[in-house]
Amino acid sequence: MASISPARRALARAPWSRGAWRDTAFAVSGVPLQCAGWTILGAPWAFFAPEDMTMVALVAVVSCALLLLVIRPLTAAQRERCWAMLGLEIPRLDAVDGADGGRLGVLRDLRSPELWRVLRYHLLAGPLLAFGGLATVTAWTGAFLLGGLGAYAWALPDSSPLSLTTHATRTAALTAVGVALLAAAPWIAAAVRGLDVRAAVAYLGPDRAKELERRVEDLAEKRASVVDAADIERRRIERDLHDGAQQRLVSLAMNLGLARETLTGVPGPAMQVIVEAHEEAKEALTELRNLIRGLHPAVLEDRGLDAALSGVAARVPLPVRLRVEIEPRVSSTVEAVAYFVVSEALTNVVKHARATGVTVTVARRGAVLRVLVADDGVGGADPSRGTGLNGLARRVESVDGTFRITSPAGGPTTVTVELPCAL
């Protein structure tokens, strides 16, 4: 965004500009509302003259009760002033405005931080801003009275201390002060307006820290929903492939195999075509099964993580020591992440580690599922070299888990993953 030049900024703060009069009107209009808090607190003391501590306590309670009863309309009036004069909308607060509309609702929320923030505005920030509004009025009044002194000083008698005839130097100096106040008044009004806006947003609106916390929670819930939806979609695709394309390939391979074994008297070139088609069908079936297993293995959903990882370990051409302790069973999304972490980690070990053995431990400890994959290979695993570790880290982070890898040169390599799971 291009910055505003000093000349344009000064022109926007000229005494005759719309901005100057808007800021002045906003600062001055807030004085009665900003003084209302202490006015209401002091009103009962004007009607009662307590003579003992009991009456003092009673009048104090009445003063505080009156303030709490008018705090809602007083706050609403401040918000309406910001909206009507500046177009600034300040969201409502449940603890102050309430959903039922009853004024006694404020009395039920005395422990609410929102209510005490609003009280700080009306009893602390408000009076200070009221002084700013009065300073704005004083600046404009002094600017017009002193700046125009030369227009009426000539009519004053010679005995007057402001007579143009006998005190011309003093009159000229006061006129200069008036001109200076005329130039400064818009800046004073703008400063008061800025302070009032910041105070109103901070004290009369929602707490920014809580709003950010709530937004983070909403985003986390939405991300979890997206992850769950993606996992559900993978399972749907797996079922469709398993029940549809895979069954057709199985039927095709069986028919080609039957033709290969039973047909006689077929010319050599035709038989060669049948044999090649049979082999291609078997290879396609193997690839499809691997694809289905990579999407979402059916055994994971049917029998759980222990059985699914046992199948993965059985296919690895290395000794794998597997220990799975999950009780009670975690959610399907967390199970899927743990499964793919172990599967990809074992694939990396086979491809890159030159190891002679692997240890896999999956254990639930309270609300955390801990996955540990350790090998005795050469080490030196680096996520930046495209070994699939970056993908693992992103998959783990999608469920707010933590991913750590320790792989010094010469080994061993240890992958540690912690996944949160509800109790």
Write out the DSSP string of 363-393. EEETTEEEEEEEE-S-----GGG-SSHHHHH
- Residues 185-232: pLDDT tens digits? 888 888 889 898 888 888 887 777 776 777 777 776 666 666 666 666
The residue among 343 and 221 whose pLDDT is bigger is: 343
Nearest to 204 by CA among 102, 104, 125: 125
DSSP alpha helix (H) spans, 263-318: 268-295, 298-303, 305-315
Q: Could you tell me the sign of the dihedral formed by the alpha carbons of 261, 267, 273, 276, in that order?
A: positive
Is residue 91 pLDDT above 50, yes or no? yes
Nearest to 199 by CA among 127, 111, 272: 127
Read off the pLDDT band of 256 (50, 70, 90). confident
CA separation, residue 350 to residues 105, 205, 302, 357, 417 (Å)? 67, 58, 27, 10, 19
C-beta of residue 350 within 8 angstroms of C-beta of residue 306: no
Q: Reduce the DSSP state of residue 111 to 3 states and report it.
A: coil
- Please count the CA atoms within 13 angstroms of the CA of 175 that sit on its side-chain side: 15
How far apart (Å, rounded) are the C-alpha atoms in residues 198 and 143? 28
pLDDT for 182 equals: 82
How far apart (Å, rounded) are the C-alpha atoms in residues 373 and 415? 5
How far apart (Å, rounded) are the C-alpha atoms in residues 280 and 221? 45
Which of 105-109, 172-176, 239-243 bottoms out in mean pLDDT, i.e. has the lowest?
105-109
pLDDT for 372 equals: 92
Nearest to 179 by CA among 189, 169, 171: 171
CB neighbour burial string for 60-85, b if at least 16 within 10 angstroms, e if fewer? eebbeeebbebbbebbeebbebbeeb
The per-residue pLDDT of the chain, averaged, comes to 76
CA separation, residue 400 to residues 71, 305, 331, 417 (Å)? 42, 20, 14, 11
How far apart (Å, rounded) are the C-alpha atoms in residues 106 and 98? 8
SS (H, E, C) 218-236: HHHHHHHHHHHHHHHHHHH
pLDDT for 100 equals: 46
pLDDT for 230 equals: 63
Read off the pLDDT band of 1 (50, 70, 90). very low
The residue among 152 and 394 whose pLDDT is bigger is: 394
The residue among 406 and 91 whose pLDDT is bigger is: 406
How far apart (Å, rounded) are the C-alpha atoms in residues 341 and 419? 11
pLDDT for 155 equals: 52
How far apart (Å, rounded) are the C-alpha atoms in residues 351 and 346? 9
pLDDT for 371 equals: 92
pLDDT for 227 equals: 62
Is residue 365 pLDDT above 60, yes or no? yes
Q: Going by C-beta distance under 8 Å and a sequence separation of 6 or more, which residues neighbour residue 172? A: 150
Is residue 2 pLDDT above 50, yes or no? no
How far apart (Å, rounded) are the C-alpha atoms in residues 334 and 344? 15
Is residue 104 pLDDT above 60, yes or no? no
The residue among 350 and 234 whose pLDDT is bigger is: 350
Is residue 10 pLDDT above 60, yes or no? no
pLDDT for 277 equals: 84
- Residues 159-170: pLDDT tens digits? 555 555 555 566
CA separation, residue 193 to residues 18, 23, 367 (Å)? 14, 6, 50
Residue with tokens 């209302």, as numbered in its chain:
36
39: region left, alpha or beta (phi > 0 left; psi from -120 to 50 alpha): alpha
